[in-house]
Structure 1
Amino acid sequence: MVVAPRLAALIEQLLGTALPLRLRAWDGSEAGPPGGPVLVVRHRRALRRLLFKPGEMGLARAWVAGELDVEGDLYAALDLLLAPVQAHHALPARQRLAVAGELLRLAGPVVPVPPPPPREEVRRRTGPLHSPRRDRAAISHHYDVGNAFYALVIGPSLVYSCAVWDEDTASLEDAQAAKLDLICRKLGLRPGQRLLDVGCGWGSLALHAARHYGVRAVGITLSAEQAALARERVARAGLADRVEIRVQDYRETADGPFDAIASVGMAEHVGADRYREYAERLLALLRPGGRLLNHQIARPPMADERAYRVDPFIDAYVFPDGELAPLGRTVGQLERAGFEVRDVESLREHYALTLRRWVRNLEDNWAEAVRLTSPGRARVWRLYMAASAVNFERGGIGVNQVLAVRPTATGTSVLPLRPRAWTERATGQDRSPDPARQAQPH
């Protein structure tokens, strides 16, 4: 039996369109258009996974287990596959049965139990969604996989969020430094101010703000591994008197007021049901006139928001319990909590560039990444980062920096008359007048 042509015909029925790329099956047979990337089905077990778990989850398990792969340009393969997969071509019931029967024949003898999922998959979740305990477990799954692995992938800056690029940017490190400085300028940081970094990661923003803007910074994270390395970095920099790193939930932070708060790549973990609580908590931690910089991935709005579902691959292998919201909802929730939203900047293309650099780092150091974690974990990160890059490039998701202010007693907040001057990478600090600060000794 020659497998590839039969399998290609099945895929075309499921997609509702011609096979967009070359296919190679485990018997060495090929089908589909020549040239370009090749989708490789290395083992018939991949089809068994689809029988027991149809759809994206079965495909995800096969990818993580190494039973599915792509030879050639992974981005091109994903770009070809994303549109037909997301179109979700629905088959009539009779055709679905025929496809399942053919899939069963190709899969060979199937035992009555499914193949076990890869060990990198989240197994058991306990507690209410987005409760502090469950959030800690979700964060640990993603971040507590070894600081050395992250340093390999995201680079020595240890900044795990969208960098800021321009035509003259020489390296990923330069782009990340530009992002950290942009945040500090948007927040208008000055010597002696208190900064809260919510979801501080390995402490890079807190270190940058203390070193270059003279602030006293508190960084909070739920990852014990992140906190341990962040504290080491603070000590090595000689900034232990100005930077404190805590393993702490934002809901447990109670030592405000802070002059400024940064939340970079953290709000995606909060959840729709908790977002108002998150916004209100940050508002309470800010002094009147203080600024919040909320840096968050967004998805497009849906005609029926109740139809939104978390991507099963991302939920099971990457960010358990993570949720994306449209930009409009985020801005609305911040405003309903009492913030005045002053500026919104999209960095969508910047994140695609950042992700491609991370993928390159991973691929260039593949053997070491596998040694530090596992083959499955390395495959998870490669797929999620490459697919995310394509999705950012296509506009399927975006990322935005929202600058908001806690109003003063008079309901006003003062920013520069032309606030977008901060994009010019001026070396001087924002020295706009701030009567609310002058009236708030601390």
Structure 2
Amino acid sequence: MSVASVVSSLFEGQLPFRVEAFDASVAEATIDSPANELTLKILTPDALIRVLRRPGELGLARAFVAGDIELDGDLDALFDLELPPMGHLFTPSTLGPLLRLIGASALRPLAAPRIEARQRGALHSRRRDADAISHHYDVSNRFYEMVLGPSMTYSCAVFAHSNDSLEIAQRRKVDLICRKLELQPGIRLLDVGCGWGAMAIHAAKHFGVKVVGITLSTEQQSYATQRASELGVGDLCEFRLQDFRDVRDGPFDAISSIGMSEHVGRHSLETYAQQMFDLLVPGGRFLNHAIGRPISTKEDPQPRRMSEAWRQTQIAWGMRGPSRVGSDFIERYVFPDGELHDVGTMVSLFQAHGFEVRHLESLREHYALTLRYWVENLVKRFDEAAAEVGEQRARVWRLYMAGSAVNFERHHLEIHQVLTVKPVRGRAEMGLRPDFEPPF
């Protein structure tokens, strides 16, 4: 029995892609599928060891991250596949030949890839949240520059046209938020989860506001502080290494939170909403920009009978399941402790804590375009990126961003901007039909 024939047998003769293995065996696709142009390369016996020891998604994720398997071709096709049950690997007719192929190395310890997150402490405690943020963001500012481009903006851009450059679209996004918040010279803005400072610096430079940006990433704080100084707004921008729960110097005239509430966690959402309300002046505006997932299941193109591994993969990319991002791949390699919430939950949350919701906008297609740009940037500079952060991390990013783009396109993921006001005696102090559109 060859390695390729084992893989083919898992699919019960319905193999959707080509397989090449380290024992020189090959199996061709046996059915018509979007994945026909995809080739799964099983490069080392370690790939089999990882899957045998942790059948399902975790074993496959570790094999991919470690470079024991490779995927050649259009990765989009990967997300159409239903992973087969792994139980067939443990039948006597398969397990014995597999162990003979692997040899004595099957008995040796095999460490998980070094970049695998190992979270400790209570879920969403301050220390654990800081560790989770550090795992994802304290990688390398130079790596993020390669992927994100000059804007250093790690959130959904806003495109006026599908062929807009990423830099113009990112500038339009932060300008749009500034206009929704009706920023004016001299007022105070709190930017929660400020990233590398793009929003804060734009608000200070073009709207004259005084900004406090908070982050749990030391790399982001250092970069944002230096960039604000270089662009001449260092006196208007203060970047702190601070948890949102520890901000005490309110009130602020406006608050922006861009791509941060996904890290808050379901059990801390009440604290998050109350803190935003308490930190805002009466009449002030709060904008929450966050990824979520749809809750409708009326249109489900996926097969009704799914393996557990595929169900978990769907949860990973926001296609179904609980709020925890939660799959082995995303949880251990991308966003430890990340949680996504549907927009209805967020709107109800803000209303329950005293906010009036004034405007809601979906940017789902815009995020798909943004991610396509990021994937293109990474592919163009993959060798350079791998040299900067290691090949394991570069591989993770390529797969995670490609999968995310597909799932925004297919409405398995959503993203919304929710604009709220802290009303004053029932008044929101907003125009009847405000025009938020940037003039470019």
Q: Into which bin does the TM-score normalised by the smaller protein fall?
A: 0.7 to 0.9
Instruction: Choose the corresponding residue for 2:366, options 326, 344, 350.
Output: 350
Matches of residues 265-276 of structure 1 in structure 2 within 5 Å? 265-276=259-270
Contact 2:325 2:337 in 1 (8 A): no
User: Within 5 Å, which residues of 2 pair with 1:16-415?
Assistant: 18-33=14-29, 35-75=36-76, 77-81=77-81, 84-85=82-83, 97-98=90-91, 102=94, 105-106=97-98, 108-109=102-103, 111-112=106-107, 114-123=109-118, 125-167=119-161, 169-301=163-295, 310-408=326-424, 410-415=425-430
User: CA contact under 8 A between 1:302 and 1:308: conserved in structure 2?
Assistant: no
Gapped runs of 5+ residues in structure 2? Answer: 31-35, 298-319
TM superposition shift of 1:305: 6.6
Q: Distance in 1 between matches of 2:342 and 2:80?
A: 25
- Contact 1:22–1:37 under 8 Å retained in 2: yes
- Contact residue 362 and residue 369 of structure 1 kept, 8 A: yes
Q: Which moved more, 1:300-309 or 1:210-219?
A: 300-309
Matched-pair contact (CA < 8 Å) for 1:78–1:390: no
Cα distance in 1 between the residues matched to 2:245 and 2:52: 43
1:306 Cα deviation (Å)? 5.8
Q: Distance in 2 between matches of 1:281 and 1:78?
A: 41
CA contact (8 A) 2:290 2:415 kept: yes
Paired residues of 2:324 and 2:337 also in contact (CA < 8 A):
no
Measure, in 2, the Cα distance between the counterparts of 1:372 and 1:329: 39
* Structure-2 separation of matches of 1:182 and 1:175: 10
The Cα offsets for residues 415-439 of structure 1, whole Å up to 9 and x where unpaired, read as 23223x323x237xxxxxxxxxxxx
State the one-letter code of the partner of 1:49.
Answer: R
Matched, 1:418 2:414: no
Secondary structure of 1:167's match? coil
1:320-379 deviations in Å (ceiling 9; x for gaps): 111111111111111112211111111111111111111111111112111111110111
CA distance in 1, matches of 2:233, 2:98: 62
Q: Is the 8 A contact 1:294 1:403 kept in 2?
A: yes
Paired amino acid for 1:284 = D
- Whether the 8 Å CA contact 1:44–1:106 is kept in 2: the answer is no
Deviation at 1:101, TM superposition (A): 5.9
Give me the whole-angstrom Cα distance separating, in 2, the residues matched to 1:361 and 1:211.
27
Structure 1 unaligned regions, length at least 5: 428-442
Displacement of 1:277 in angstroms is: 0.4
1:129-186, Cα deviation, whole Å (9 max, x unpaired): 1111111111111111111111111111000011111326531111101111111111
What SS does the aligned partner of 1:422 have?
Answer: coil
Q: Deviation per CA, 1:208-237, whole angstroms, max 9, x where unpaired? A: 011111111110000011101111001111
Deviations 1:103-123 (A, max 9, x none): 563252364465210001013
1:203 partner amino acid: G
> 2:202 and 2:323 mapped to 1: Cα distance?
41
What SS does the aligned partner of 2:37 have? Answer: coil
Q: C-alpha displacement at 1:31, in angstroms?
A: 2.1
Distance change (3 Å), C-alpha of 1:115 and 1:337: same
Call closer, same or farther: CA 1:362–1:413 in 2, change over 3 Å.
same
Q: Deviation string for 1:231-250 (max 9, x for gaps)?
A: 10011111122111111110
User: What fraction of aligned residue pairs are identical, expressed as a percent?
Assistant: 50
Moved more, 40-49 or 364-373: 40-49
Distance 1:154 1:101, change over 3 A: farther
Which letter does structure 1 place at the counterpart of 2:385? Answer: A
> Residue by residue, what CA displacement relative to the aligned partner does 1:402-423 show, whole Å, maximum 9, x if unpaired?
1111121x1221323223x323
Moved more, 31-40 or 145-154: 31-40
TM-score, reference length from structure 2:
0.88
Task: Provide the C-alpha distance between the structure 2 equivalents of 1:254 and 1:307, rounded to a whole number of angstroms.
Answer: 29
Letter in 1 for 2:253: D
1:220 aligned counterpart, secondary structure: strand
Deviation per residue, 1:44-68 (Å, 9 max, x gap): 2112111111111111101100112
Residues 374 and 275 (structure 1), Cα distance of their counterparts in 2 relative to 1, 3 Å cut: same
> In 2, Cα distance between the equivalents of 1:289 and 1:104?
71
Return closer, same or farther for 1:331/1:250 CA change in 2, 3 Å cut-off. same
TM-score by length of 1: 0.87
> What is the CA–CA distance in structure 1 between the aligned matches of 2:231 and 2:47, rounded to whole Å?
49
Query: What letter corresponds to residue 232 of structure 1 in structure 2?
Result: Q
* Deviations, residues 4-56 of structure 1 (Å, cap 9, x unaligned): 1331121x15xxx8322222222333224385121222122112111111111
Residue in structure 1 matched with residue 317 of structure 2 by the alignment: none
> How many angstroms apart in 2 are the aligned matches of 1:115 and 1:101?
25
